A and B are shown apart, each in its own frame.
Chain A
Amino acid sequence: MIDFKNLPQEELFGQGNVGCKGCGAAIAGRQAMKVLGERTIITIPASCMATLGGNNTKTTWKMPFYHTLFECAPAVSSGIRAALEIQGIKDVNVVSWAGDAGSADIGFQSLTGAAERQEHMIHVLYDNEMYMNTGGQTGSQTPLFAITSNGSLGKPVHKKNMLAIMEAHGIDYVASANIAYPEDLMAKFKKASTKKGFSYIHILAPCHRGWGIKPEETIEISRKATESGLWELFEVDEGKRTRTYEPSFSPVADYLKSQGRFKNLTTEQIAAYQKSVNSYYGRGE
């Protein structure tokens, strides 16, 4: 259980952010910063998360924040860590925090580079499964069949498995998380902040505009992703894989049918989704 009485009161990020109401990215940021604390330097490449936190001479951040170019946040953070080390500045969480594009697509090169070097940092992929800062186009993290602003027929291919790719780097810590499960998410940030090498945390953070849901449903839909088994919560801690939450296996259809982006799915397509979830968890056909 979360000890709310002792949760840090300080809002290092979030208050006055210029994002949409019900923003999943902002929720992820707030939960993470409750754990990371003020001795954190965060870099965020082009994304909603970068733009919603700073406007002209004002920012919502209360620790050093830098809005980087799209494809290089992990490289910038590598430089920041090197600069801190040479100055003997310790006990700082160096974080790069990118969207699905800035991590898995245009930003993938610098991410894989920093991970391979085992840089002492945490990289976060906050995943809204499409390019929301430009209006919601298809990317590699867009799920199968989902309709986007430039894909009215639905995505014909699967989502790229970033967690598996990052696990293959042999880094210190890999975890999936979901904003509907703050206790689990925060425990993962806590663990990542103690690592001496590279950590990767992949957070499912719905965008109600892109997903075709109501703002107030942001948490509810996100929860359904995990409960249905579609978004497994797990960690790989120095090679040891653990499922951190046992889903209730609610029907995948419940999750899919409640979102505008899946409104065109046929019964067969929904069945195909359910079949692959069943098969992954060893629950038969």
Chain B
Amino acid sequence: MVAKNLPTVPSGDPGALAKAANGAIQRINRPEITDPARVNPIVLLYCPDGALSLDEKGIAISYKLCKGCGICAKESEGIAMVPEYTGPKGVF
């Protein structure tokens, strides 16, 4: 029997979850910036997932990290939630 190569002290690599993140699996709606000038940067601190960042152009959204909770759109103007799925509808 050969065990997997694991650390002696059960532990994980720092920040590795961020690299493996796939927010899309939890998202039903995704936030989109509709008016960059009106976005309140406070949403940087309201996002549970660190999916928002500030660059020269303003707030940027990482869809790899975003789980689509909708807090940013609720707390700030200039962000709207749009449905992830826009395919065929109406088959029940």
Listed in ascending order, the chain A residues whose CB lies under 8 Å from chain B are 2, 4-5, 7, 9, 11, 13-24, 26-27, 30-31, 34, 53-63, 179, 182, 214-220
Taking a contact as CB atoms under 8 Å apart, the answer to whether B74 and A26 are in contact is no
Near A by CB (< 8 A), chain B positions 6-46 give 6, 11-21, 26-27, 41-42, 44-46
A/B pair count, beta carbons within 8 Å: 126
Listed in ascending order, the chain B residues whose CB lies under 8 Å from chain A are 6, 11-21, 26-27, 41-42, 44-51, 53-54, 65, 67-71, 73-75, 81
The one of B15, B17, B27, B48 in contact with A30, judged by C-beta atoms closer than 8 angstroms, is: B48
CA distance A184 to B92 in the complex (A): 50
A residues in contact with B44, CB < 8 Å: 4, 7
Taking a contact as CB atoms under 8 Å apart, the answer to whether A59 and B15 are in contact is yes
Minimal beta-carbon separation of A167 from chain B (angstroms): 27
Name the prevailing secondary structure of the A interface residues: loop
Minimal beta-carbon separation of A31 from chain B (angstroms): 5
CA distance A179 to B21 in the complex (A): 24
B residues in contact with A7, CB < 8 Å: 44-45, 54
CA distance A56 to B7 in the complex (A): 11
Given known A18-B17, A58-B20, contact A216–B50 (CB-CB < 8 A):
no
Nearest neighbor of A218 in chain B, beta-carbon distance: B71
11 example contacts (A-B, Cβ-Cβ < 8 A) are as follows: A9-B53, A16-B16, A19-B48, A21-B26, A23-B69, A57-B13, A59-B14, A59-B17, A182-B45, A216-B70, A218-B71
A residues in contact with B46, CB < 8 Å: 27, 179, 182, 219
B residues in contact with A216, CB < 8 Å: 69-71, 73-74, 81
Nearest neighbor of B17 in chain A, beta-carbon distance: A16
Other A-B contacts than A16-B65, A17-B17, A18-B17, 17 sampled, CB-CB below 8 A, are A14-B48, A15-B18, A15-B65, A17-B48, A21-B68, A21-B69, A22-B48, A27-B71, A30-B50, A56-B12, A57-B11, A59-B12, A60-B18, A61-B14, A179-B46, A182-B46, A215-B71
Taking a contact as CB atoms under 8 Å apart, the answer to whether A182 and B49 are in contact is no
Taking a contact as CB atoms under 8 Å apart, the answer to whether A62 and B42 are in contact is no
Taking a contact as CB atoms under 8 Å apart, the answer to whether A215 and B42 are in contact is no
Minimal beta-carbon separation of A86 from chain B (angstroms): 20
